Amino acid sequence: MVFSRIALGTLALAAGLALAPHARAADACQLEISGNDQMQFDKHELSVPATCKEVTLTLHHTGKLPKEAMGHDWVLMSTSDLGAVAQSGLSAGASKDYLEPGDKRVIAHTKVVGGGESTSVTFSTASMKPGGDYSYECTFPGHSALMKGKFKFG
């Protein structure tokens, strides 16, 4: 009786260990971030393991202001491109979601959303180097000084 209880416990533990890495791997490639009416992201760092071939990021705008006044997007790039991408986005304007169309420096981006809206982007990490220096920012005019953070890959 004692033996079989231990055996069952061991089996359950083994099953749990076998399933856990899969569950963790799937969750680890899903990211969420929020922007508010105070021009802030709720996270200043995001990270995914280099085992993620695809990453899905969901951006929530938790404020109330419309996107014309307080729009937010999430744009991923090499840290060294932060200023230049925002500058090009400013020139591109609202109709292009403050991103230069086809900007090769942009690894991934969401559209611009306003208060109460959410949006997601799923992107491949094939062009990214594990341990590389990546950052994200909001390219809405004037926001990138505050709304940015580090993106750790690997």
CA distance 154 to 141: 31
The correct pick among 60, 61, 67, 72 for binding Cu ion (CB under 5 A) is 72
CB of 107 or CB of 138, closer to Cu ion: 138
Gap between the terminal Cα atoms of the chain: 47
User: Does residue 61 bind Cu ion (CB under 5 A)?
Assistant: no
Residue 143 is a binding residue for Cu ion (CB under 5 A): yes
Rounded to the nearest whole angstrom, what is the least distance from the CB of residue 135 to Cu ion in the complex? Answer: 15
Q: Return phi, psi of residue 142, to 5°.
A: 85, -5
Closest CB to Cu ion belongs to which residue?
138
Burial class (CB in 10 A: 0-12, 13-18, 19+), 90: middle
Q: Which stretch binds Cu ion (CB under 5 A): 2-10, 21-29, 93-101, 130-138?
A: 130-138
Q: Is 138 in the site for Cu ion (CB under 5 A)?
A: yes
Contact residue for Cu ion among 41, 98, 140, 153 (CB under 5 A): 140
The least CB distance from residue 141 to Cu ion, in Å, is 9
- Based on the shown chain and the rule CB under 5 A, indicate whether residue 148 belongs to the binding site for Cu ion: no
Contact 10, 18 (CB under 8 A): no
Q: How far apart are CA 143 and CA 67, in angstroms?
A: 13
Lookup: tokens for 138: 């909001």
Q: Which residues bind Cu ion (CB under 5 A)?
A: 72, 138, 140, 143, 147
